[in-house]
Structure formats: C-alpha cells, structure tokens
Structure 1
C-alpha cells in the first residue's frame, strides 16, 4: 500500500483495505476451522475399533440333548450377517433412514443442511431438532460416541462417519447398524426384533412386516402396536415407508397398495412373556450363578455379553419327573395340615384381570391356575382368571379342612379372594393350596457326576432360594453309610457283631455326658453291622463310630465332600449340616466305587465363534482322534485318572448293605420298583427334616423335605414315609420298562460269600433264596477278613470246585459266581 500513489482515489484505497481485512478474516476462519477439526478429531475413538467390535450377545443354555432351555440376556440380540439379510428388509430400512446410503461418503449434504436449518429455528424453544443423520453417522454415535445432544457431538459424529466410510464397505456398515439398533421389546437388532414381534426369523418376513420393523428405530415406544394410539402411529409411518420404497424403485405401485391394505398384526406381548416353559428354573439359576463366578457378567465371555453356548447336563425327561415328584410330595404333606386361607385379596370391578395378573401366584403345576372369586352363592364359587375368562368351583371341591378343624375351606372363602385351583373338566375347578413346606431334589449320573435334574422347591416364582444347593440341613441317618464305611476301613466287616444296647459317653467339659438312643427307644442286643444299617440303629452306629474313631469318621466324611465336622459322636448320627447336592454326590461316589468326583452342571461351553473354552471332561486320549478303525480295532478310551476318595472295595460293601435297606429295611417303599436299588432314609430330631438318598447303578437321586425355618413336621414324618416315596415316584416316572435293569458292579478284589443274614456266619450247603428276608444271603468281604472256611467239610459248592483231575481248587463264592455265570 505504501506504493499506492497519493493521487489514487480514497474509495479505491478503502476497497483494498476491506479486501485485505476480508482475506485476513477468511484466513483466520479457515485456520479456526482447521484447528477446530484437528481439536475435535484429536480425542475421537479409533474407527479401527469397529473392526474388532463384538456386539453384546446373550448366552444360551441347552439341555443334554441339545435342546434350547434358557437364555441369559440383558439385551435380546441375535446376530445375523449381511448375506443372510433379505432384500426387502434392507430396502425398507434404507428407505426409512437413509435413501442415499449407497451413494454418499458418510454425510448426506441435503440432510445435513435441513438439520442445520431446523436446529437454528429451534434455538431457545426447548424442542429437539431433527437428526439428519445418515446410517453411517448413527453407527458412529451408537458404537463410538454418547447420545449427548450438542453441536460438538454432531460434528464429531460427522468426522467419524467419513472415517468409517474409508475403513469399511457399505455392506459391513449396514450389518453393524442392523445388528445394533434398539427396536423395542428388549430386542436389539433386526433378527431379535423379528422374533419379538412376529415369532419368526427375518428371512420369513414379508414386505409389510419388514416395513413395520423399519418404523421402530425412531422411537419404538411411539410405534407400539399393542395400544390403539401406537398402532395408529405405526400404521401411518409404515405406509409412508412403503411409499418411499415405491419411490426408490423397490416396489411397484400395486405392491405398495397391497402391502398398505394389510393391518399390522404382531405377537401378543403378554403371551410372549408367559409362553416359554419354566422347566428347570432352579437348575438354570444354579448354572447362571456358577457361570458368573467363572466368567463374570460382562466382558468377552461374560454371560450377558459374550454370546456363550452352554451344553448343560439337564435331561428334560428326568427334570420333568423330578419336578413332578417334588411337587406331589410337598402337596401330599401339606394337604393334611389344613386350609391356611386365600393367598391374596384384590378389588373386584373394572380392571380385575389386570390386578389378578399383578398377584403372580406361583402355582407350579401346568394345570393349576390363579383365580379370583368373583361371586359366592348357592354352594358354588364363580372364578375369574387373568385372561378374563371364568370358571366354577362347587363347595364339594373345596373340602380342605380349616386350621381349626371346625369347617371346610369353602366356608372361609369370600369374593375377592385369590386362590389356586386345578381344572378337573371343562369349566369346572377344584381348590388347591400352595404348600408351606419346602424341599429339594438332585438327580446325578453315577459314572460321571453329571447332574441330570435339580429341583429347589415348589416353584421358583414363589421363592428363588434353591433348597437343592443352598439349604444347609442336618442329614440325619443318611450320614450313617459313611460311618459304616469308616468302620469297614478299620477292620470291621458287614458280618461283624455289634451291640445294639444303651450307650453313654463323656464328650467334653462343655458338652458333658451324652446318652444315645434308637429312634424306637428300644434295643435289640448283638446284631450284625448289616442289620444295624438296614434298620438304621443309632446305638450300633455310635458304637461303630467310637470303635473306628470319630477322627477317622469325620475325615472320611470330608473326603466324600459332605462337610467338615468336629469329631463328636453326634455327627455320626447326622447332626452336622450339608446340602442335597453334596450328599447326593457322595452317594454317587459310593456307587462309582469311591472315585472322587464333583457335581457337573454343564459339559461344554463354547464362545460366540464355537471355540470350546471349557470342557468338564478334560481327560487326555491321544488315540481318540485317529480316523482309521476296523472291525477288529478296539475303540480307544480316555483313562479315568480320578483319585479314590474311598477304597473301592469298601464303597461296594456299603452299597451292598444299602441294597438291604431297600429290600428289608427303612426304604422298602422302593422295593416295588423291582430292580436293584440302594439307598438310605434319614429323619433328624424333631423331626424337622426327612431324607432319602439312593438309586440304581446308573442314577442316584437325593431328596429332603422340611420347612425353610425349621420346625416340627409331626411325629409321623419320617424319611421312609415321606422322602422315600417321593424318590420312588421319580424313578417310576423317569425309568420306563425298557430301561435296562443292571446289578451293582462288584469292585475288584471283593469276595462274595454265603452267610446267615442274622448271625453273619458262613453257610455251607445252602444258597440265597427268594423273598424279602432270606435266611442266606451273599455278603461282600475283603480277602483279608473273609470268613474262614472249614476245608474238611464237603458240600455241593465245594464239589463244584473240584477240577477234572480231582485235585481240589478252592475258589471264593464271588469267583464261583463270575466263572459259572451267576448274576448277583
């Protein structure tokens, strides 16, 4: 400017100054924009993270047969790849959200300008401006940014969108978007939404159904077709989307008109929530807790985000049988205790079905229903149900006695009472009652420790407390087999004579002198150990515990995983505490020749890609993966390297004696199953708990019944009268006539000898006969304490042992049985 002639007009000099000033402002503006860009971009997340992005996926639990039984999810999502997405669905979402998606580079200029103008007009109004975001921008916001409403966030979103477009293909971006978006009903992604609204996969959706799903990303609650206002809004927006699909060339005018003519029909939300089976609720919850301890809730393998596939050990048929057996046992006991009154009361009048649904009565059985009494007159009750239907209950079907014994339940029921009822026929119902008493059952496979069924109470909706795994209860006489095992490992035999007579002992200064007694209060003198276990004699048990040493007894009990107790004699009669799961597992170990094992609730866990991240059976078998086999090739088997918790011979001796408990002792309730069974009943002081644990060579079931807050169950409550019948019912339901009945396997080294059942003395010239109480039985001995034989005596058995050259070869009875084809 200093070269400008002085004669130049002032206007010209002024114009140059303005142009220079504008240039400076423009440069400054550009610098600010560039600086702002780099400032905004400096703290943005790396779009490369999207390449590693794994959406939160629910974990699925399957039964032992591979059937789906449950899902652990906070976000209901089923991932689907782009090639599996049908064209009409893709076209519907593009038409609704971003019709130029396949053309722009992440930002739609027209949509951006419209959004800026709308934002400017709404400044200060409190209203939220339209988004104007492309699908790519929505991916950036949903996966990499927050939902903050600000210009800064919008600018960051645009920068990220361009980066995403440079990193991924359009198909990959669309796959991320359609699997991430929330579409209502706790459904994330189009596949989950398709099942939530239409109960079918996206591949089976028609055009109008796909268009409806495309209405939901804006605001799923506004387009909820379950109410009239939402249905009207959803229909309007769906029809608009169908029109856009026509304008974009995806549909013909005729196809648009046809799709618009159909009403929106979705799956009923209430039916969707209540339809799934509640089979194995307690089992599934136990698995969930265990998986949380193992993997946590969040993270790559978290149960709510990792998309795990869990192959559980639940056998659906056995689970159904166990649930039926437990519920029936609890109801049988409860019916004798009188009517306790209605479970709840609601106000009648308009809206009573909704109020009844709010009660959520845990009825357990499939044929029980929660009902409200709408009216009472002329010896009948008019019942109302949650779906608005009605039924009838006559006074003759409400004959449960009231607690006072002065009348029947019918006399106490009034209108508005909520009661459980059972359908008998047509529209007729009979009164039922939710039992107060609790109980738990575990069914376990002997050879592996796999839990085949688990029941933790009457209904998980009544109480989530799992009495099979969480309830610590005194096992009573079910602990006795392990006391006898300790005696067998310390020189006793099943034929040893033990006194059944009064027994007192000074325990300690704090506990003082303790005198024990039998359940009956009587004693029987000298008897065999077998007889003492079969008849569950307390006096014989404490004598054996004392002679074997309580330190040895509690050490063995701990080895079997039952519990850790102090060496006091009262623990030999079941004064300690344990769970149904732990005690059932210990009995399974007995039947499996004393091999140490832990309960297994799942065999296999796979991550979302199908990789095995956990196997319950981790035994090595180098030859198992070989492919070349012939008819003469022996199938390779992994080695069983589990350690012994007990001498296998001792374990078999105990099982053999426990067979006598079923045949002649306190568990004769199971004898009618007419198959080899073993087990032991238990009734603790009060009685407050009754037990039975036992089963077959393959399957062991344990069951206990008692109140959650222990109280006297009544003098008639015993393990043999309440618990054993429940386990029998389970086996009757679970094992059909075609189920192979197997004898118990004799442990290597055991000698089977004929003895007199009552005296325990060896018998010659006679064989075990039929009947429930044969005079002669086979008894199991270890070689070192097998009863001595008088070699000079000759009988039929010894004659059969002579060899062809007339030289006598002495064989034990067990060897004779095995070699001559005898079956125990």
Structure 2
C-alpha cells in the first residue's frame, strides 16, 4: 500500500496512478514480443497504420478511463464495510426464535471456509486470483472479443471479471450491464488490491456473492440448497455452489438439472486441471446427483408468529426498515433483540386459542375461501405465492383450487405440486384459496379455518413483560394482531375496577347492594335508560358486593357505580390503562373499547397489589457489535460497574412500577375474584386446584366473550369474536367459551403455576363472615366446599362488620348447641337424648350449660 495515495489526495493523482498501472500491465504482457513488433513496424506500412489506429483507440480509452474514474467510491471503505445483516430475535432464555431477513446472510471469516470450497470457486471464477493485481488481462481480452461478437444480438457477453472485480461490482457499483461499468470494475479492482490483501478480498466475495434462493454468501447458500454448513459439504456440493454465480436462477431449478450437472462437472474438471482435486475424487463426485433439497421456509416455531410480528412493528417504529433508515435498521442492521417470549407458554397460548376457535366453529360448516384469485391458464403458482398466505397448523397447508368439475377437483400448492381434492363444499370453485390436509392415498381434503377469531396475551405481573401472545388462528393468514390491534368491548371484565373504586370510597365486600331495576334519565334527546342483568331479570332483594361480582350482576354493578360516582369510576379505569371514557353508566358494564393487552395489564396491577409495570415485549436491543443501544429498563444505576468496591452500600435501583391502586383495594378485589373461580361464572377453572382469580365477560349480542385472570405470577386474558362484530349466538358466554381456553392454557403449563396463595398487604384483616348476609360469624369454620356460607373475607382495618348483636350471638350459640347434640346422637346412638330443638331450648333455660 506504499504507493496508494491517501484518500484526501487529489482525484487526478489516483487517475494517473490507475492509468499508469494499466499501461504497466499491458507492457508486461507484450514485452516478450517487443523485438518482433519493432521489426514489423519497420517493414510493413500496414502495421504502422494499425499502430496509429491502436494508439488513437488507446488514447480514447484512456480518456474514457479518466472520465469514468472521477467519481468512483473509495476502496478504503471496504476496510470498515458492514454488509446488510438480518435482525436476530431471542426468547426469554436467550434462544434464537426468529430472524427478520429479506436475504439469507451468514458472515464467516476466511479461515472458516473449507479449502475445497475455496478451490471450487477459484477454479470456476478466477484461477489466477492469487497472482493477478485485480485485472486478468488474458480473460479481459477474451471478454472483449466475446462482446464484439455478440454486439447487437441482445445476448449478454461473458464477463471476464476477476473475483476482485466482482467484489467491486457487488459491493461498490452495482450490476449495470455496460462497458462503463466494466471500466469502473477494473479501476476499483486495482484500488481494492492496494487496500485489502487476497484473503480479505476472498472473504468479502464468499460472504457477499448472490447465489439464488435469496441467499447471499456461501454459508447461506449451503443451508438453502443442501441444509448443511459449509464444513459439511462434499466435493460435488461445493462444485455445485461454485457454478451459481453465473446463473443462480437457472442452475437452481429442477428443469435445468441437466445444464447444472454439466456445469458442475466442468468445475470438477477444472479443479483437477488446477491440481486441487485428484482424478479419482473428481470421478466420484461426478457420479453423485445434484442432491438439492426443496426450497424451504425457515424452521422457526410456528406459534411465535404474532409475537414476533408485534416486535417487528415496534422495532421498525424505532429504527426503520432498510439501510436507508440508518445503520441499525431492522432488515440490514444485524441487530440482536432479547425479548420476553417464553416458548413453552407461547405454544400453549396459541394451541389453546386455536382449540377454542375450532370448538366454537364445530358444526358450522363452510363459510367461504381464505381468498379468491383470478387465475389465467398457467399462472396459479405465482399468484398463490404472491398472496403471501400460509398455514402451519398440524398437517394443514394453504392451496388454490386450479380445477373443479362436479365432485372432482385439483388443488395446487406454493411449491408447484398438485393433488386431487375431496370433501368439496358446493360453492367451492376454481381460484378459491383454501386450507387442506392429506387424507390418504395422495388425496387431500378441505379443512375449514374458523371464521370467528380472537386474541390472547400472557404477562408477568411483577415486571410487565409479555410472555406469550396469540393474535388469531395463524399468523400466516394475516398480520392483523387481535391481541394488540383489535378494539373490543370488554363487557363484565371491566367490573372489578368499578368495584375497586367503590372499595376506595367506603364500601366493603360485605356491603349489601340491591339487585333491582335501575333507570336513569339521559336528557331530552335520549330519554330514559333502564339497565338489566344478563338473564334479563333481577334476583330481587339485596346481596353482598362479593356475590354481585361472583355472579356478575349488571344491576348491582350499576347501583355501585352510581353510588360511588361515575367520574371516579372512569378515573380508575383510565389510571389502570384500559381506556379513557366519558362518565356514563354504560361504561361500568364494559361498553367502551379496549384491547386484550390493555385488559391483561390492568389485571396485572390487581395481582401485584396495585403496582403496575409498563407492558413490554423487548428487554433490550444490541447492535451488530454487541453494544446495547436500547433497553426497556432505563433506570440509571450509579456505581453499579465500578472497577473496585468503594466500601459504600450496594447501589439500589429505584422502583420501576407505578402504584395505580391502593394495595389493600387490589387484594380485596383479587380475593373476591377468587370467588368467581370457586362459585361464580368461571367454575370451569376450579378443579385445577390452583389459587386463581379471574373474571368472565360477555358483551351485548353477544359479540365478544372474555376471560381475564391468573395468579400472582402469571396473568392472561382471551377474547373470542368476529372481526366484523356480530352475534356469536345466545349460548355463547365468557364462562363457556373464553374461560375453557384459559383452562387449557393453564393445564398445558401447570408445572409453571405456583400453589402459593395470594398474600395480603399490611392493614388488611381477614374476618369470618356469612357470604350471603355479609354478617360476621363466630361459630363454624370456612371450608373448601364452594357451597359453604362461611368464608374468610378481606377488610381494610376498621371497615370489618361490627361484632354481632346479642340476638345474632344467641342465634349463633343455638346453632352450636344443635350441632353438638347432633354429634352426640351420632356417636352414642342414644335415643334417650332429647331432640335437637328440645335440647337447645333446655340448654337456654339452664343458662347455656350442657
């Protein structure tokens, strides 16, 4: 590099150097014939004339050279060149779960490429690579002749480019087909040889060369064509990869297998000729078939689709999509993204949601295709691929009906294969994109993707990290994520926050509330609005607040909201992040719009004693060099990384969560919601034997059915509904369709769920009460029997029911006496003992001693 001008030297110095290098190269080539040429010059006038013409042509060539060389990119940039790389996504345990890539790329060092691979590429592309200075003049002369022969024919001339020139083309100047580009290649190749050594140039080439199947570089191509790393390639496989730079889209196709074999065997012959393979090795390799694997999709777990798509959206919002957006773009920046995705929980969530959708749709029959294509004579495969629809559920595949004649039909798949189709719905016709599965004997049957859809989110309430997310039946059918993008009415799942507000303003779980009709005048324009329960009637009388929440009584909720004040209620709903609503009573019954993700985050605050963390899916992002460029937990920690302990106390991070509810209120609500599982509308979860809380929801219509709940460590939520809301049918309720989905999720991941009960914060007192009357109980003990009237209830200090009146106490004592007599009669079998009622009367007459 001693003679290479510095980058800031005048451009003309570079041009002069390049031209001098070219002339020196030409001079070295003609030196052996110099004497003969001089003699010819003296003896023949025609030769002298040809010399003049050649000189003129050379002068013009040098002029063009100088013009072309003026604005070329600097070869010095290759010293710090960073190729576009995909973004890699890791799960909660650090495993790679996905990548965002439009091109397959894997960067290797020069020493990682096996020698047979290097030899194969050099034999095919540039056998003088180790000796030339960037331009092979012999090969260049052949290319010029070939260009002259094919000029005007429309055929593309053979390139004649060295590997160094191909590096210049692929990285610095592009693939334009012109003489000008070839001149640029030659100039830059000379410069590159002055900046990089041969190993560095070859490393760039082997990592950047486009080889088809969206593969850039030999390692990516090795995986795409053979499913192997480069160090596992056999000689015939290395030779096949070496033929791809010339025409990857031809040699990689099955219909051109003969041409590919011929070209591969030529490369093997060249390797023998160059002394890098023996004749025996080449003969054995020639006898091998191509052995290409079918074009394949990435082997990511199919359940992660909706989660990683949501992560992608957030990354694009922050860093942009392509290299034009900056060095850390999603599809070129080579980012490493650590997410909160828990693969075990993610699989279970996607499985549970799919099962619930299929269970709801069972028996409803065909509702139409996934899409319709306007097919021409023979373009179905391209159109199907362009539709970008896929399905990775069991053995189902997406295909298009390419023929139908009566009861017979043929389906075509994206890989170009076709099969007979059976189980045909009457409306099915050519061009319908459908789901299908094999039924045996090479025949496929129609499968129905449920028209109803839904979303599910699972969160760690102690950190706000989203552990799992399912946004529909399959992410391959569309990127719309119903967990984060679908605005739905939450129905009765909003009620716990109405009750929380009431608890903050003087009510208790034992407060008696009327379950009676409630009407409100809404003004001259809207008139009178009367509310009703889901079953269209009131139970009559008054009941405890707990009973109203367990049984999801609309009328009791409206009374509570009205007595507490709707401005206070909507303030609580907004504070926990559900939504911003006007203070109308209908919003106390879930009339406003929200998302599953927002509802789950609100319930997470309940499970975490009122502390809520911002919901997050990305823990941190690293650039390609490993530097952390963004993290969710941005709290500063002074002194955390000191070189040596200074003797002071350990640094402590400030609390990250936000107290959005009184911790006592949050616990009281959770304690009541445990009753929803034990005795209320979510009893389908009771036999799991876990300390779970939750609430079902069913909106008017019903158009949505919900369940949200969980434990103190895991909170999840799910809804079902049509994307264009319409009635699900009167039989659909949160307890019959949504809660069973959550039950399947918990059952499938039961080892991850704690048996530790919810812990009460300080200043909460547990008092025995009668859950029906709300009165304090002194006799008897709470049991696990859901029918038991005696329970432990949570009260804030000084809000528990007063000790019973004398009348209540006497009644309780009488019940105790009757129970004692009953026990004695059972144990002794003594019929002489008085009857229970008579015995109680006798005891009372004797002053209560028996």
Q: Is the 8 A contact 1:106 1:158 kept in 2?
A: yes
**Residue 83 of structure 1: how far off its partner (Å):** 1.6
Question: Match for residue 714 of structure 1?
Answer: 729
* Whole-angstrom CA distance in 1 between matches of 2:417 and 2:458: 39
Deviation of 1:411 (Å): 9.2
Q: In the TM superposition, what is the alpha-carbon distance from 1:575 to its structure 2 partner?
A: 0.4
Structure 1 window deviating more from structure 2 (144-153 vs 614-623): it is 614-623
Contact 1:376 1:415 in 2 (8 A): no
Comparing 260-269 with 609-618, greater Cα deviation is found at: 609-618
Contact 2:380-2:402 at 8 Å conserved across structures: no
Could you tell me the TM-score, scaled by structure 1's length?
Answer: 0.82
* Cα displacement (A) at 1:266: 1.1
For 2:588, the equivalent position in structure 1 comes to 572
Preserved contact between residue 392 and residue 427 of structure 1 (Cα < 8 Å):
no
Quick one: which of 66, 72, 78 aligns to 1:50?
A: 78
Work out whether 1:283 is the aligned partner of 2:307. Answer: yes
- Counterparts of 1:521 and 1:186, CA distance in 2: 61
CA contact (8 A) 1:329 1:726 kept: yes
1:328 aligns with 2:355: yes
Over 3 Å counting, the alpha-carbon distance change for 1:170 and 1:342 in structure 2 is closer
Q: Deviations over 1:325-350 (max 9, x none)?
A: 111211121124345478799999x9
Kindly tell me: are residues 312 and 160 of structure 1, through their superposed partners in 2, closer, same or farther at Cα, counting changes over 3 Å? same
1:253-332 counterparts in 2 under 5 A?
253-269=279-295, 272-273=296-297, 277-298=301-322, 299-332=326-359
Residues 1:493 and 2:508 are matched in the alignment: yes
1:481-526 alpha-carbon deviations (Å, 9 max, x no partner): 1111111122222122222211112234544322111112222322
1:672 Cα shift? 1.3
Q: Equivalent residue for 2:570?
A: 554
The CA deviation string for residues 522-553 of structure 1, in whole angstroms up to 9 with x for no partner, is 22322211111111111111122122221111
CA contact (8 A) 2:302 2:392 kept: no
Deviations 1:662-686, CA, capped at 9 Å, x for gaps: 1111111111111111000111111
Match of 2:117 in 1: 89
Corresponding residue number in structure 1 for 2:194: 166
Q: State the distance in 1 between where 2:53 and 2:438 align.
A: 85
Matches within 5 A, 1:472-621: 472-523=487-538, 524-619=540-635
Shift of the 578–525 alpha-carbon distance from structure 1 to 2, 3 Å rule, reads same
What is the Cα deviation at residue 352 of structure 1? 13
Q: 1:263 to 1:641 in 2, by over 3 A?
A: closer
1:240 aligned to which of 261, 266, 273: 266
Q: Alignment partner for residue 169 of structure 2, among 116, 141, 157?
A: 141
Unmatched 5+ residue regions in structure 1? 1-20, 399-408, 796-824
Match of 1:215 among 243, 249, 261: 243
Asked if the contact 2:121/2:242 (under 8 Å) is kept, the reply is yes
- Unaligned runs of 5+ residues in structure 2 are 1-48, 811-850
Matched, 1:132 2:160: yes
CA distance in 2, matches of 1:707, 1:602: 30
Q: What is residue 120 of structure 1 aligned with on the other side?
A: 148
1:677 aligns with one of 663, 676, 692: 692
Which stretch has the larger CA shift, 702-711 or 774-783?
774-783
- Whether 2:759 is the aligned partner of 1:745: answer yes
Measured on the aligned residues, the alpha-carbon RMSD in Å equals 3.9
**Which secondary structure state, in structure 2, belongs to the residue aligned with residue 241 of structure 1?**
helix
Q: How far, CA to CA, are the matches of 2:374 and 2:529 in structure 1?
A: 58
Determine whether 1:454 maps to 2:469.
yes
Return the alpha-carbon distance in structure 2 between the equivalents of residues 431 and 596 of structure 1: 46
What's 1:668 paired with? 683
Aligned residue among 190, 212, 219 for 1:191: 219
1:434 Cα deviation (Å)?
A: 2.2
Contact 1:346/1:352 (<8 A) preserved = no
| Partners of 2:123 and 2:439 in 1: CA distance | 55
**More divergent stretch after superposition (501-510 vs 153-162):** 501-510
C-alpha separation in 2, matches of 1:356 and 1:73: 22
The question of whether the paired residues in 2 share the 8 Å contact of 1:590 and 1:654 is answered with yes
Call closer, same or farther: CA 1:168–1:562 in 2, change over 3 Å.
same
CA change 1:381–1:636 in 2 (3 A) is farther
Q: Which residue of 1 aligns with 2:749?
A: 734
Whether the 8 Å CA contact 2:690–2:754 is kept in 1: the answer is: no
- Report Cα offsets for 1:178-234 as digits up to 9, x if no partner: 11111000001111101000111111112221111110011101212x423x21121
Given that 1:353 and 1:388 are in contact with CA atoms closer than 8 Å, whether structure 2 keeps it comes out as no
187-196 vs 384-393, which moves further: 384-393
